[in-house]
Structure formats: C-alpha cells, structure tokens
Amino acid sequence: MTDASCAVALVVAELAANAVCHGRLRGRNFHVRVDYEGPASRFRIEVSDALLGRTPGAPALPPDDQESGRGLFLVECLASRWGWELRNPIGKTVWAEVTAVRPAGGPRALGCS
C-alpha cells in the first residue's frame, strides 16, 4: 500500500468509528463516502451521521494513560484539511482531504510526531 492509501484507510476508520461511538441515533445509520479528486490529486472522505448535538472539537492528545481520544489528532496529522458541516435534513458530515502525494518529511512536516 502507498502512504496515501494507508492514510485514507486510517482516516476512514477513525471518522467511521467516531460516527458509531458518538453520532449514533437509534434506528439511523451513518454514511461513508470516499472520492478521488484527480485534478487536485486528493481524496475526500465524508462520514455523515444523524446526531448534530455532538460536533467535533479541536484535536488534542489525551493523557498517556487514556486508551482513547486520539482519533481526531490522527486525522489532523494525516489530512491536508478537515472539518464538519450541517447535513440536510438531519445531522452532520465530518470530512477530511488527504493528498495523494504526501509532503516531503511525512507527518513531522505537518507538525505531528
């Protein structure tokens, strides 16, 4: 696998896990969409859920002894940009864009260690 395909797989997994753990409403599913935008040489990942009351905050590393809470930090490190928006008629979509060619220097060049 290439660095970009690994990054896309991890971002999809993290955003989908967040939708299942934090965005689930009884009787509602979540939706995953991955597009390759060739002219921009990037992948766009969108994960939509039905819960609006809980929106993503700023990514931060939790204490070392905490077993969870690193997902959005990983997304921040791997994506060239990410965010969320309202979903019509209900819920939200969390999206991330991953460039097909990683910047020289890997994650450290993005400010992540």
Residue 24 has pLDDT above 90, yes or no: no
Half-sphere exposure of 109 (CA within 13 A, CB side): 7
Distances in Å between the Cα of 61 and the Cα atoms of 16, 33, 55, 69, 70 are 19, 27, 17, 7, 6
Mean pLDDT of 17-33: 87
Which of residues 35 and 102 earns the better pLDDT score? 35
Residue with tokens 């965010």: 83
pLDDT value of residue 110? 43
Domains identified in the chain and CATH numbers: 3-56+73-100 (3.30.565.10)
Environment class of residue 47 by beta-carbon count within 10 Å: exposed (0-12), middle (13-18) or buried (19+)?
Answer: buried
Q: What is the mean pLDDT of the segment spanning 99-111?
A: 58
Query: What is residue 49's predicted lDDT score, i.e. its pLDDT?
Result: 92
pLDDT (tens digit per residue) in 44-94? 999 999 887 778 888 878 788 887 778 899 999 999 999 999 998 889 999
